[in-house]
Amino acid sequence: MSESPALLAVFGNPIAHSLSPLIHQFFAQQEGRSIIYEKRLVEGAFADCVREFFAQGGVGCNVTVPCKVEAFNFATAKTERARVAQAVNTLSVRHDADGSLSYKGDNTDGFGLLTDLIRLKCPLASARVLIIGAGGATRGIVPSLQFLGSIHNLTIVNRTLAKAEEIVAYIQDFYAANHFSRMLMPMRACDYATLEAQKVTPDTYFDVIINATSLSMREELPPVKDEYYKRARFAYDLFYTPQGKTVFTEHAKSLGIANSYDGLGMLVGQAALAYEQWFGVRPEMEPTIEYMRQVLAQR
């Protein structure tokens, strides 16, 4: 390809740690595309920073913490995924007929998770799913699990019950308002104490356990009793390491869940959807994940 390099960027604060440039450069190499991918630190108003980027010819950008809500407010058009999550991690520019620019906002986090779960052959059909944690990550991934349509039910457990209840209520209200309430899988919220007190029976076990907390960063486990792990068939941690092991995945394996994985594939998957939106090409995930493991191991 002989055209000028496409200008891309990731916005956030802090931003030096971001792996996005390496991932997207590897994507581009797969098809021989030339790109420039920059890390842009947001110290002032996000809208001003991103407008300047697009005025410089930017094709699209990724957005990380703490700017995802600001990116949602900045976008002039939003996907349903973004509207449910109330956050945007991917922006694309469109040149309108009148010469103005418009900006499409998407949230690819949930798609990234779903893509990786499918890649790993997660048994999602008729599954009882437990998501641990009720932060922004959970809000981003639940809609994609919802759209899968085959999950039996979903439980969100959190230390603070109100936060889990807020996510469940918001998603239920959103789909009801948009006439999708019939498609909703059963969801419930609970706190750790309730889950601990609940007896594990054929009606209360989980097939899939997803850790959406940041506890693995501190080498800590969520307070979920071992009986739940022993009945589960699949465990997934959104946190990732060079070795593909976290304290959560190792604990799950020790209790019999052989299929326990970290979240590097989710990171690559959400980036792959962003890249596809910008260039119309879906990158290969497997070689990218392998490459990123090597990169992380050298750090």
User: Is there a binding annotation on residue 121?
Assistant: no
121 in catalytic set: no
Q: Of the candidates 255, 254, 191, which has an alpha carbon nearest to the alpha carbon of residue 222?
A: 191
Determine if residue 160 is labeled as part of a ligand binding site.
yes
Q: Binding site annotation covers 238? A: yes
Q: Residue 265 annotated as binding?
A: no
Query: Does the annotation list 126 as a binding residue?
Result: no
* Residue 263 assigned ligand-binding role: yes
**Cβ–Cβ under 8 Å, residues 187 and 162:** no
99 is in an annotated binding site: no
109 is in an annotated binding site: yes
270 is in an annotated binding site: yes
Residue with tokens 């996907």: 79
- Angle (CA) 118 131 255, round 5°: 80
Helix (H, G, I), strand (E, B) or coil at 44: coil
The answer to whether 89 is a known ligand-binding residue is: yes
Report the b/e string of 246-257 with b at 16+ CB within 10 A. Answer: bbbbebbeebeb
Sheet holding 234-237, edge to edge: 187-191, 153-158, 128-132, 208-211, 234-237, 260-261
- Is 64 annotated in a binding site? The answer is yes
119-123 long-range contacts, Cβ below 8 Å, gap at least 24? 119/265, 119/269, 119/285, 119/286, 120/234, 120/236, 120/259, 120/261, 120/265, 121/259, 122/208, 122/234, 122/236, 122/259, 123/207, 123/208, 123/233, 123/234
Q: Which of 39, 68, 78, 104 is catalytic?
A: 68
137 is annotated as contributing to ligand binding? yes
Upstream peptide bond of 66 is cis (omega within 30 degrees of 0)? yes
85 is annotated as contributing to ligand binding: no
Cβ neighbours of residue 258 under 8 Å, at least 6 residues apart? none
Q: How far is 241 from 285, CA to CA, in rounded Å? A: 17
20 marked among binding-site residues: yes
Residues making up the annotated binding site are 18-20, 64, 80, 89, 109, 133-137, 158-163, 238, 240, 263, 270
Residues making up the annotated binding site for shikimate are 18-20, 64, 89, 109, 240, 270
Which residues belong to the active site? 68
Residues making up the annotated binding site for NADP(+) are 80, 133-137, 158-163, 238, 263
